[in-house]
Amino acid sequence: MKKILLIAFSISLTTLSAAEVIIASDSLSINIVEEKSSSIEEKALIAIQTENYAYMEQILQSGTISPRMVVDGKPLIIYAAIYDKAEMILLLASYGAMLVDPICEEGKDIMEYAKEFNAIHAQAQIIIIKS
């Protein structure tokens, strides 16, 4: 019986490719855990959407990302405006994202996006920062 389980386990290891196999020491159950690799850009966008300020501040302080980083043609601060995340706009601005007026590839600025997506908190924050 142990031989069959060992063969099945070794076959599963060769066919799992990038998945990680975890075996509990007290049982014969096998759990497959796949790591979802995402780029730093995706992680930054998720941090903006979920308001993960600690993570965003960590990657800004470490220099992993620039506060003026552009993802899919838009600076991160524009994504914060689109998602109506006023505090995230303030955080990015405090690291220099508003030193130059953030504009996307299409030529639209941050306030235009805030108005387009009816992001009233973002609009208020942008007005405060620009004054």
* Structural domain harbouring 79: 40-130
For β-strands 30-33 and 70-71, DSSP reports them as unpaired
Q: Does residue 51 share a domain with residue 23?
A: no
CA 16 vs CA 9, 12, 75, 106, 124: distances in Å = 11, 6, 38, 43, 50
Same domain flag for 46 and 27: no
62 and 125 together in one domain: yes
pTM, entire model: 0.71
Give the CATH number, domain containing residue 108: 1.25.40.20
Average pLDDT over residues 7-34: 45
Dihedral over Cα of 47, 41, 76, 114: its sign: negative
Give the chain's domain count.
2
Which pLDDT tens digit goes with each residue over 54-102?
999 999 999 999 999 999 999 999 999 999 999 999 999 999 999 999 9
For the stretch 103-126, pLDDT in tens is 999 999 999 999 999 999 999 999
Rounded Cα distance, 83 and 37, in Å: 23
112 shares its domain with 79? yes
Q: What angle do CA 105, 64, 71 make, to 5 degrees?
A: 20
